[in-house]
Chain A
Amino acid sequence: MRLASCLVALAALAAMPAAAQAPRVNPKYADLVKAELVAEPGAVAPGQPFAVGVRLVMKPHWHVYWRNPGDSGLAPEIAWSLPAGFSAGPVAWPVPARIPVSGLVNFGYEGETLLTATVTPPEGLEPGRPVTLRAKVSYLVCERECVPGEASVSATLPVAPPGTSVRPDPRHAGLFAAARAQLPTPAPWPHRVTEEGDTLTLHLDAPGLTREAVADLAFFPYSETAIEHAAPQEVTVDGRGLHVALKRSSLTPAGTITRLDGVLALTERTGDAAVRRAFALGEAPSVPGTAPPSPAAAAPPAAVAPPEDAPAGVWAAALLAFLGGLLLNLMPCVFPVLSIKVLGLVRQSGESLGRVRLHGLAYTAGVMASFLALAGLLAALRAGGAEIGWGFQLQSPLVVASLAYVLFAMGLSLSGALHLGGRLAGIGDGLTRRAGLEGSFFTGVLATVVATPCTAPFMGAAVGFALTQGAAVSLAVFAALGFGLALPFLLLAFWPAAVRRLPRPGAWMETLKGFLAFPLYATVAWLVWILSQQVGPGGLFLALLGLVLVAFCAFVLERARTAGPWGARAGMAAVLLAVLGLGLLVAALDRDRAGAPAIAAAGGPEPFTQARLDGLLAQGRPVFVNMTAAWCITCQVNERTALATQAVTAAFRAHDIAYLKGDWTNQNPEITRVLEAHGRSGVPLYVLYRGPGDAQVLPQILTESAVLAALDRAAPARRAALSSPQE
């Protein structure tokens, strides 16, 4: 016993330095990775690019790494030794997994993976002489411990005579199909990154997504030093898209990251299944076995022009808001206050010019503070709304109609048909009489509040705008509005002499106020026009009826103001009823959305209706039906990768197959019936009708080749007719 333990200790002692010098011969680490080189085709055709792959099969629980290995580890490297004239493209990295190792996170592959690349052979190859492709693969494989390894792999292929088409090697077809399915596809949405403190937020402009539809999201950055790999990635979805909060790596100084490219993996819950998807943001791996794409084609079109919170737009909005703020000074409730306050300061207090200027600055600070507080409140409301799933956006008829009603009511108040907050205006005068710098500051605050009856119409427009924009934009707009309002007072405080040049308050102000109602009415007209593109004629009628209700409300309110207590109560009841009616109208409006005229672009697919489908089938034409929705990621990806491609478009034309597209974004009941008829509760659904009662349902995840094969089968007679003259 004692001898045995001594022997074990001795063996351990002996093993220690040995392990330190030559870890690779340790039997514990034998056969951790099996590497082989596989080629997709059974033969090489001269000049025709084909796919090859280095297959790595790991012992259970051991992993190799992605191009960015994460917190530790090392990406595998492939060094090619190819026959003369051959060239190999870059490795197309499959989507990795997050592999946690005691508090750290690595990005890599467990089980097995196929690292594919495209090999392009030269034109002048001698048929009959096989070619051998060789590669040296160096990798680091880890469980908790890490072992570096190296493997020399090769594959020998015959050369096909020129002009013959080579067939895929059936032994490897499954491997390559699986590898292609694991490659990220170019993201259909633009992406950008913003930074706040040590949080980097990745934004994907994917409007219409819902939080419930997205699960298990993981972002893998290409850069090794951009983010803390192990930090949680917080996902939020709002009306404008998807946002992933990441932690900036301590290796990267603040403010240096302007672009964050990588791979975003997520699971989308469609009506019937959960589909794992991966998108390349920025550079995307090229699909192996195809000719290397031209740089222009490789770049995802969306990423070329990421719509930042377009600075030009922000400046224009801020400028308009500034002008609006200036205009506010001419409003009947602001203008008298302004001149009285300034004159009072200069004449009565007899204070020095410097002191008066300080008062001007304090007033400006007060106005700006109130406006910024309002902007902050709105931003918080907006964020809160997004959290519980409201999208404040002009895509929603509900929001558009509500904005139209609010602006219309404001217009009525400017026109004098309605008096809002009359009681508030009286408080103002008393407050402006306070002395001291704090007095001036609060005068600024109160000028903002007190001026509400006149400013509300403009504020309404600004609030509406702010709700549909990001926090930065709304802050800028409100700051500009506040500065515009405060500027004349500030200028007068600095040059009191200018007071004498001001026009006297008078009837002209009422005229101006009445005139300013018209820009608001114009905005209402524009909103109704927007609405007309979102809802059907019935919905538009309801919306216009809503405007009538708003006018009626104003009328009742005005009457009630001058009536006795009984009249006032009756008025309130009438207004309540009218408001209730408005709510019902707006809700009804949301249900009656327009069909899908937008997607029926010339030359593209026709919009789906059951009548059109029946008609086409009666004519004997085969029909392909695509049921889709704007918020369905899988649908968008299928359309980009398998339906809108040149080959598929050509096949539709060649086989004279009609293409009907149903947009289920707004839950069209006619489409719901078709989905139910095929046992589905959601989109996507792809059905190919060869004739009445002869329908083939295609899988939810499409590939171009599968669609082409299905289209080929759909029109056998026609294809025979087309090809016979050539034979």
Chain B
Amino acid sequence: MPTRRTALALTALLALAPPAAAGPQVDRPAPAFTARDADGRTVSLADYKGRTVVLEWTNHDCPFVQKHYGGQAMQALQKKWTEQGVVWLSVISSAPGEQGAVSGPEANRLTQERGAAPTAVVLDTDGAVGRAYGAQTTPHMFVVKGDGTLAYMGGIDDKPSAALTDLKTARNHVDAALSEIAAGKAVSVKTARPYGCSVKYAS
């Protein structure tokens, strides 16, 4: 009986706690989603339970995305981590007709041309996944741990610029977070300011 009463009291306290900020929050469960990839297959976050998942918002015509692909940095990061069992989802939330919007075959061709190595390219044409995550920019990065909690969200690195030369000196927050997760350590930088072009949602 006393335990039940305590539980009730705790529930009441939780109900009184301030409401969480909208959008995802680090150390909380990442928003679930189901969408189609470039090959028409269904992709769900729930499918990857137990594995670390990276979400990369992208738009191949955005100069900031071009900085990271032009310098081969994004491709290298994708290869390095997918080889270690990490799931890498490149998400395109551009609405049809907007910059960066591509069909499935076009997306696959882009992957091939750029030598990219994502696990899948998610075509989020209605922007539902983007809005669930509050994705603002391309690139905008999210790292979800195997237990489904969000471990990192924000910019890909700490040098907000479109200049290739900044790649060398920047701290790549995603690489750092993945390394820490792989080593069983706590993620030291959990959020950073996202930078880049705006995600081209339907207006």
* A contact residues vs B (CB 8 Å cutoff): 17, 19-21, 23, 71-74, 101-104, 106, 138, 140, 142, 144-148, 196-198, 224-225, 247-252, 254
Q: How many Å lie between the Cα of A247 and that of B196 in the bound state?
A: 22
Residues of chain B within 8 A (CB-CB) of A72 are 136-137, 194-199
- Distance from B130 Cβ to chain A, minimum over Cβ atoms (Å): 9
Tell yes or no: B47 within 8 A of A by CB: no
Residue picked from A101, A147, A250, most chain B C-beta under 10 Å: A250
Report A-chain residues with C-beta under 8 Å of the C-beta of B69. Answer: 20
Of the candidates A104, A147, A248, which one forms a contact with B198 in the assembled complex, judged by CB atoms under 8 Å apart?
A: A104
Surface stretch bound by A, among B5-13, B19-27, B78-86, B176-184: B19-27
Report whether B63 and A146 are in contact in the complex, using a CB–CB cutoff of 8 Å: yes
Q: Does B169 contact A (CB under 8 A)?
A: no
Segment of B36-44, B48-56, B118-126, B153-161 engaged in the interface with chain A: B153-161
* B interface size (C-beta, 8 A): 44
Are B200 and A102 neighbours in the complex by a CB distance under 8 Å? Answer: yes
Contact of B160 among A19, A74, A252 (CB under 8 A): A74
Q: Name the residue of chain B whose CB is nearest to the CB of A143.
A: B99
Q: Residue on B with the closest CB to A147?
A: B63
Does A103 contact B201, Cβ atoms closer than 8 Å? yes
Chain B residues with CB below 8 A from A102, complex form: 95, 198, 200-203
How far apart are A477's CB and chain B's nearest CB, in angstroms? 22
Would B162 and A74 count as touching, CB distance under 8 A?
Answer: yes
Give the docked Cα–Cα distance between A517 and B203 (Å): 68
Looking at A71, A102, A249, which has the most chain B CB atoms within 10 Å of its CB? A102
Alpha-carbon separation in the docked complex, A85 to B196 (Å): 37
Q: Which residues of B contact A20 (CB under 8 A)?
A: 60-61, 66, 69-70, 114
Q: Which of A148, A198, A249 contacts B18 (CB 8 A)?
A: A198
CB of B197 within 8 A of CB of A146, answer: yes
Give every chain A residue within 8 A of B160 (Cβ-Cβ): 74
The docked-state distance in angstroms from the alpha carbon of A252 to that of B192 is 9
- Identify which of A104, A142, A145, A251 contacts B193 (C-beta below 8 A): A251
In the assembled complex, which residues on chain B have CB atoms less than 8 Å from the CB atom of A251? 153-154, 191-193
B18 and A196: CB pair below 8 A?
yes
- Across-interface contacts of A224 in B (CB, < 8 A): 193
Determine the chain A residues whose CB is within 8 A of the CB of B200 once the complex forms. Answer: 102, 144-145
* Docked-complex contact A197 and B18, CB < 8 angstroms: yes
Q: With A102-B203, A148-B63 as known contacts, state yes or no: A71 contacts B198, CB within 8 Å.
A: yes
Report B-chain residues with C-beta under 8 Å of the C-beta of A23: 61, 63, 66
Question: Which residue of A17, A101, A145, A225 contacts B191 across the interface (Cβ within 8 Å)?
Answer: A225
Contact A198 B198 (CB under 8 A): no
Bound complex: CA of A466 vs CA of B196, how far in Å?
49
A481 to chain B, nearest CB (A): 24
Q: Is B98 an interface residue (CB 8 A)?
A: yes
Cα–Cα, bound, A209→B113 (Å): 61
Distance in angstroms from A67 CB to nearest chain B CB is 12
Residues of chain B in range 84-142 having any CB-CB distance to chain A below 8 Å:
95, 98-99, 113-114, 131, 134, 136-137
By the criterion CB–CB under 8 Å, are A225 and B19 in contact?
Answer: no
Residues of A within 8 A of B73 (CB): none
Answer yes or no: B167 CB below 8 A from chain A CBs: no
CB distance from B61 to the nearest CB of A (A): 6
Q: Which chain A residue shows the least CB distance to B69? A: A20
Task: Give 10 closest A-B pairs by Cβ, nearest first.
Answer: A197-B18, A198-B21, A102-B203, A72-B198, A148-B162, A146-B197, A102-B201, A251-B191, A72-B137, A71-B136
14 example contacts (A-B, Cβ-Cβ < 8 A) are as follows: A20-B69, A72-B197, A74-B161, A106-B198, A142-B197, A142-B198, A144-B203, A145-B99, A148-B63, A198-B21, A247-B21, A250-B191, A251-B153, A251-B192
| Chain A CB within 8 A of B45 CB | no
Contact check, A250 vs B21: say whether CB atoms are below 8 A apart.
Answer: yes
State whether B137 touches A71 (Cβ < 8 A).
Answer: yes
A102 vs B136: C-alpha distance in the bound complex, in angstroms? 10
| Alpha-carbon separation in the docked complex, A140 to B22 (Å) | 29
Taking CB atoms, residues of chain A closer than 8 Å to B35 are none
B62 within 8 A of partner (CB): yes
A146 to B196, CA, bound (A): 9
Residues of A within 8 A of B192 (CB): 251
Docked CA distance A250–B31 (Å) = 14
Q: For residue A104, which residues in chain B have a CB less than 8 angstroms away from its CB?
A: 136, 198-199, 201
> Roughly how many angstroms separate A23 CA and B136 CA in the complex, as a whole number?
22
